Each structure stands twice: as C-alpha cells, then as structure tokens.
Amino acid sequence: MPESVPERTPATVPTRPHGAGAPRGASGRVGPSSRLSTSTVARYAIGSLGTGGFATLPGLVLVFYLTDTLGVAAWAAGIAVSAAKVWDVLIDPVIGGFSDTNLHRTGSRRRVMIVGAVALPVFFLLTFAVPAGVSPVVAGLWVAIAFILASTSFSLFQVPYIALPAELSDHYDQRTRLLTTRVAVLSVAILLFGAGGPILRGIGNAYTGYLVMALVAGLVIAAGMLIATTVAPKGVPQPDAPAVPVSEGYREGFAALRRSAPFRALLGTFVLQALATGMMLAAANYVAVWVMHSSDALTFLFVALIGPAILFSPIWNAISRRAGKERSYVAASIVFTLAAASLSLAIWSPGAWMYLSVAVAGAAYAGMQALPMAMLPDVISHDARRTGAPRAGVFGGMWTAGETTGMALGAAALTVVLTVTGYIQTTAGHSVEQPASAVNGIAAAFGLIPAALTLLSLLFLSRYRLRRSDIDGPDIDLPEEAIA
C-alpha cells in the first residue's frame, strides 16, 4: 500500500536565491531556496569531479594493481579492498550524525567537508606508494591500511555533500536540475579519471606510473571537493546543541530506514545498482586486457560509456520533468539492463561491437545516477515534514554506506569470479596465459551478472511511492526558465 502523506500547510517559497539576505528558518539557519542560482548549481556539481574521481580510479585499477603489479592473490586483493569499504559502512552513519551536530553548532557542514577534502589526497597517494620488492603480504596490508584512511577522508566529505541538496532547494524540479548537472560533471570525471588514469599509469615503470597517477588524481580530486564546500549553507550557530553519540548515528540511521518506506525502496534499488556498476567498473581493465586483448581498449571503453552519459544528463532532466523521476528511473534501469545483457555475447564473440552496447549503457547510466540522487532530497524533506526533525546528515550517512556497500560488493564479487574461474595473478614484468574459464568469467562479470542485478533492483523500485504532488505544494509555481 502507498505510504500516506499527511496534510501539509502551504510551503513558504523564498523570493531570493540562497545566500546572503535569504530568509532564515526557525532554527536560525538560512532556509532553502526554490530557485537555485547558476553559480550554486555549478559549484555543487564540481564536487563530483572529486567524488567521481575517487569512486572511479580505485574501482578501476586497485584490484588490478594488487593482482598484476604487487602479486597479491585475487582473493586477498578482494579482502584488502573490501576492508576499507566495510569500514566505510561502519563509520558513514556516525559521520552523518556528526555532520548534523556540526551543522547546529557551527551553522554549516563546511568544516567537516574541508577536513575530508584536504586529507584525502595524502592517503590516496600512500595507497599507490608501495615500494618495489615488497612481499605480497606486506603490500596487501599496506594498501588496505592506506585505502581505509583515504576512504575515511572521502566519507568526511561525501556524507555532508550528499545531504546538501535537501538544504539548497525545496523544489522537486530544481533538485533534479541540481543533480543532473552534478551527474554531467560526474560523467566528465569518470571519463577524465577512467581514461586519463591509465595514461598516467604508463609513465615510467609500473611502480612509478601508479605513483604519478595517484599524485595528479589526488590533487584534482581535492580541488573539486574544496570548490564544492563553498555552497554549504551558512546559518546561525547553536553552540549549546548536544553532540550526537557514536551509537546515536546508527540508531537514527536505522530508525530512518524503519519509518521511511520511500527511503528503503530507493536505497535498496541504488545498492543493487551500485553493486552492478561496481562490478562492471572493476572488470573493465580485465576485459580490455584479456577479452579484447588490448590495453588501449580500456580508454575506448570509458569514452564509449561516458560520452553518451554526458550528453544524456540534461535529457534525463527533461524526461523526468514530464514523466516524473521514478518513471524515468525505471526506464533508465531497463535500458541499462538490456545493454549490459547484450555484452554477455562477448563470451563467444568479443569485438569492437561492444563499444556500442557500452554507449547505450552509458546513456542509461546517466539517469541511473542522477535520478535516484534527485529523489533522495525528496525523501529527506518528506521525512522531515512527517517527523518535524530534519536529519539530512543521517540520511546522507546511510545512503553513502549503502552505496559504498554496493560498490565494495561489486569489486569483491569480481574477485570471487576470478578465483572460482582460475584467474592467475602475476607481478609487474611477468606475463601469464589465462585459462579460457577465467576469460569467460571476466566477460560474464562485465555483462550478464550486472544485467541480472539491475533487473532485480526494479523489484525495490516498484515500491517507491513518492510523487511530485507529495513534494511540491500547489503554491509553488516557478517560471519555466527557473526549472529548465
């Protein structure tokens, strides 16, 4: 049954853009603006240059770095990478509660975001700084510890960053505009890091190449994140606000899951799709080398994926304004499922035709990223109206934990496939011949399995009940150019 939505009083729509002079809510913080300025949209979106870079590059090269440069067994590489993700899942709800507390005490989420943005490039560089000649055991431990620290820094930025859209605008279509713009930048980031990372990796020997890649990428990631911190709303600090204990972050997070059916449906969908895309991302390097027999194919795969994603981000914005976010999300997911399923043919006949399937998947991927993230602020504001207690940081923490879980399980699932199918790890400078079973497993991990997971996610999405009428009141009537 659809979740009932209580009657609400007409919303008060600010007539000035968010920022100085904008109206303040009862809490003393600046109230959200229905119409977002171009500057706010652009600066928020640039943050995805950082989040996209960190999500893409480790997912693309870290397992391959462990198995084919450091000589770590596939199953051990899976544990090393997954350890950081498990840690993320544990701390993200805590960071969400801490971010809400910090918002009350300082008037902004900016401080937490800056700490994460500054610390991340340091630990990211250390992740790929394993000295040559180190034993696989030591190398695996080195990478696991450094990546845990890098992931913690990322969460300090990402959790409050996810919470911001609900505080920047209270309008259904403006949130879609904000998030589709963010996904366009995210797509550029994936292309930049996915294609540029392997190029930088080719500088010098394998160890030097990874180090150069991590240094350049870390600086770009930090720059994007720091720019995004400037849009964090400022309000009146409440220094007497009580701190949220560690256990409170978990309690609030799971309470949000229990009471909000739309949140459960949306998060379940997104986690399964993150698992699917995480598996594809981790498998791409292996597909290029062992299925398509060309290390250059990795760059072409990313161009094929991200080019259409950049073009289709504004198209999904236009579609969602007419059909609604939830219906548009279903359509994007179905298209992605069909495109991923077609890649399964690479088991029998790999070739250049795969770029076309990847391009179709990329067009759908833009919608699969933008639309659920645009729906999340609707879920947050809906919950705040029902409970009277805004918890954007808590929702952001649970969302980030779920996304991290999905991406981690995607990479881990790939290592399971590699192990079961007999993949042979090696060290830099040595070559091996992979068995046919391992090559077939890689092809399945790039197409058939992600398609099945995305199809399964639609069962969760079918339970999402929020619609435009539940978010926008009848008094909200922005001019056409404000929501374009």
The mean pLDDT of the chain is 80
Q: What is the pLDDT of residues 260-269, one digit of tens each?
A: 888 999 999 9
Instruction: Give the model confidence (pLDDT) of 389-425 as tens digits.
Output: 667 777 877 887 788 778 778 878 888 898 898 887 6
At 406-416, the pLDDT tens digits run: 877 887 888 88
- Tell me what pLDDT residue 215 has: 94
The residue that leads in pLDDT, 451 or 58, is 451
The domain spans of the chain are: 38-229+242-472
Confidence of residue 304 (pLDDT cuts 50, 70, 90): confident
Percent pLDDT > 70 in the chain is 84
Is 280's pLDDT higher than 60? Answer: yes
The whole-number average pLDDT for the span 371-381 is 86
**pLDDT at site 122:** 95
- pLDDT, mean of residues 365-371: 89
Q: What is the mean pLDDT of residues 380-395?
A: 78
> Which pLDDT score is estimated for 430?
62
pLDDT at 480 > cutoff 80: no
* HEC assignment per residue over the chain: CCCCCCCCCCCCCCCCCCCCCCCECCCCEECCCCCCCHHHHHHHHHHHHHHHHHHHHHHHHHHHHHHHCECCCHHHHHHHHHHHHHHHHHHHHHHHHHHHHHHHHHCCCHHHHHHHHHHHHHHHHHHCCCCCCCCHHHHHHHHHHHHHHHHHHHHHHHHHHHHHHHHHCCCHHHHHHHHHHHHHHHHHHHHHHHHHHHHHHCCCCHHHHHHHHHHHHHHHHHHHHHHHHHHCCCECCCCCCCCCCHHHHHHHHHHHHHHCHHHHHHHHHHHHHHHHHHHHHHHHHHHHHHHCCCCCHHHHHHHHHHHHHHHHHHHHHHHHHHHCHHHHHHHHHHHHHHHHHHHHHHHCCCCCCHHHHHHHHHHHHHHHHHHHHHHHHHHHHHHHHHHCCCCHHHHHHHHHHHHHHHHHHHHHHHHHHHHHCCCCCCECCCCCCCCHHHHHHHHHHHCHHHHHHHHHHHHHHCCCCCCHHHHCCCCCCCCHHHHC
Highest mean pLDDT among 251-265, 273-287, 328-342, 464-478: 328-342
| pLDDT tens-digit series, residues 3-18 | 444 433 333 333 333 3
CATH of domain 38-229+242-472: 1.20.1250.20
